[in-house]
């Protein structure tokens, strides 16, 4: 295996782990603070009335997908799902990008490099073989 291939595989592994960590923490929020998660769904996705039980189901599905993503299982589907989740999350916050210096809005700009990481993992999924099943 060439040095270039090793560097690429290590880079993709680190991207996969870092994307997993962020999305895992966001998913855990659905269990730890379901009211906050429900407020996010209502504010950004215009889906209201989601209680703790619904948040737990959504969180449970997300956790399964995230762990499958972490181990590189069925990459087309799991990497695609993670990319879709984060694309929706990033684009649903569009209004916040128009007022970057109000409140915590500046923090939302971190979504864009993460979206690029999700896209990179999806398009290079066949090259992402280090520590995958």
Looking at the 3D structure of the chain, how many domains does it have? 1
> Residue 1: is its pLDDT beyond 90?
no
Residue 25 has pLDDT above 90, yes or no: yes
Whether residue 9 has pLDDT greater than 90: yes
For residue 130, being part of any structural domain is answered with no
CA distance readout (Å), 127 to 12, 14, 119 = 8, 13, 13
Q: Does the residue 132 lie in any domain?
A: no
Q: Shortest CA distance to 119 belongs to which of 85, 71, 68, 70?
A: 85
Residue 129 lies in a domain: no
Q: Does the pLDDT value for residue 68 go beyond 90?
A: yes
pTM (two decimals): 0.94
Between the two ends of the chain, the Cα-to-Cα distance in Å is: 19
Query: Of how many residues is the chain composed?
Result: 133
Does residue 110 sit within a domain? yes
78-91 pLDDT tens trace: 999 999 999 999 99
When the pLDDT of each residue in the chain is averaged and rounded to a whole number, the result is 96
Give Cβ neighbours of residue 106 (< 8 Å, ≥ 6 apart): 100
Domain that holds residue 31: 3-123
């Amino acid at each position: 295996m060439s040095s270039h291939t090793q560097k690429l595989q290590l880079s993709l592994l680190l991207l996969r782990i870092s994307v997993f960590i962020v999305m895992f923490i966001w998913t855990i929020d659905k269990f730890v603070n379901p009211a906050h998660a429900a407020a996010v769904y209502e504010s950004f996705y215009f889906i209201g009335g989601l209680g703790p039980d619904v948040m737990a189901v959504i969180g449970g599905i997300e956790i399964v997908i995230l762990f499958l993503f972490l181990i590189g299982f069925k990459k087309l589907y799991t990497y695609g799902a993670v990319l879709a989740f984060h694309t929706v999350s990033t684009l649903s916050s569009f209004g916040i990008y128009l007022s970057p210096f109000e409140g915590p809005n500046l923090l939302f700009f971190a979504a864009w490099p993460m979206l690029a990481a999700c896209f990179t993992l999806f398009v290079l999924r066949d090259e992402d073989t280090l520590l995958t099943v």
